[in-house]
Amino acid sequence: MSTTLSKESTKLGLIGLGLMGSRFLRRLNAEGWNVRGWNRSRDAILPLKKYGLQIEETLSGLVGKSEVLLSSLADDNAVRAVYFGENSVFANVQPQTIILEMSTISPDLSALLHREAAKRGANLLDLAVSGSTPAVEAGTVTLFAGGEPEIFNRCVPVFESIARQWYLMGPATAGIRMKLVVNLLLGIGMEAIAEAVSLGEHLKLDLDLLLDVLPKTAVVAPAFSGKFLKIKNGDYSPQFPLHLMSKDMNLAQSAAHQCKVELPAGRAAAAVLNGALAEKGALDISSIASPASTLAGRHNDNQGNCKPGHIVSPVNATAAA
């Protein structure tokens, strides 16, 4: 393999073709990379084949043919299932293969992946992704890496095809540790927005107007700007599913516990997210600010009284956490 990866000669393999992985596959293909994908569930593969994307039938086949592997998986359990055991990544990976592990997982599991890759002569970066599906499609995600600077620098051409900015945060697991810091802010911020919207409703503000104005204020981070339209339209199709946000908040809480640091706001936000899993786990994280019925077409009357369909306030759940 050449010092710097090139579109002309480097074979990429992408493991995990869910919401994020399928979009990374499309983007890398559109950017001219020789990339193939593989997914545990066959249901996700058929639409991608219709786009003319290359899909490998077996994980062992993908690993054996790839000089660079990228993986985008849901959680620790999915990563363990794919990387360990018979016909897994580590059972088939070749020496000098570069592995870009993009899943949001526990730092302990990330450290294990680094050790196991090193035993086999492979080069692994934990490469955490900040940004949901629209950012992947636009190539504007931010990447946080942990690993060796030489491997990080060799992979810059791949980063340029999928991201707006990328940072080497330190040695092994530094990227995933940074991701937990970032997603702690994301989870607390979404819960704060849900409470703000709930307060606005109970103060008898026009909710459509509130949802138009609030994202234009200086206090709302860019990551949330698109969430207000989703709340207003009652469109909770997942860009970042609530169950993944809940998982990340739990990872942050677990990491904090190991470090003996208190995160009271994070603990309260995690409780709200966990409490919403049964009803809204597959929906977008913005659904924690959803009313009992969609806001579309619902306004305050002329006397400032709210019509039926109140937002279920997370304040009480937070207080009880």
Choose which CATH entry (2.102.10.10, 3.90.660.10, 3.40.630.30, 1.10.1040.10) describes domain 178-320. Answer: 1.10.1040.10
Q: Cα–Cα distance between 223 and 220 in angstroms, integer? A: 8
Q: Which candidate, 233, 189, 236, 225, places its Cα nearest to that of 208?
A: 233
The terminus-to-terminus CA distance of the chain in angstroms comes to 53
13: how many CB neighbours lie within 10 A of its CB? 27
Superfamily covering domain 11-171: NAD(P)-binding Rossmann-like Domain (3.40.50.720)
- The pTM assigned to this predicted structure is 0.88
**How much is the mean pLDDT over the chain?**
90
| CB contact at 8 A, 53 and 165 | no
Of the pLDDT bands very low, low, confident and very high (cuts 50, 70, 90), residue 135 is very high
Asked if residue 165 lies in contact with residue 195, where contact means CB atoms within 8 angstroms, the answer is no
pLDDT in tens, 160-201: 999 999 999 999 999 999 999 999 999 999 999 999 999 999
Give me the phi and psi of 130, to 5 degrees please: -110, 115
How many C-alpha atoms does 26 have within 13 Å on its Cβ side?
19
Q: Where are the domains of the chain?
A: 11-171, 178-320
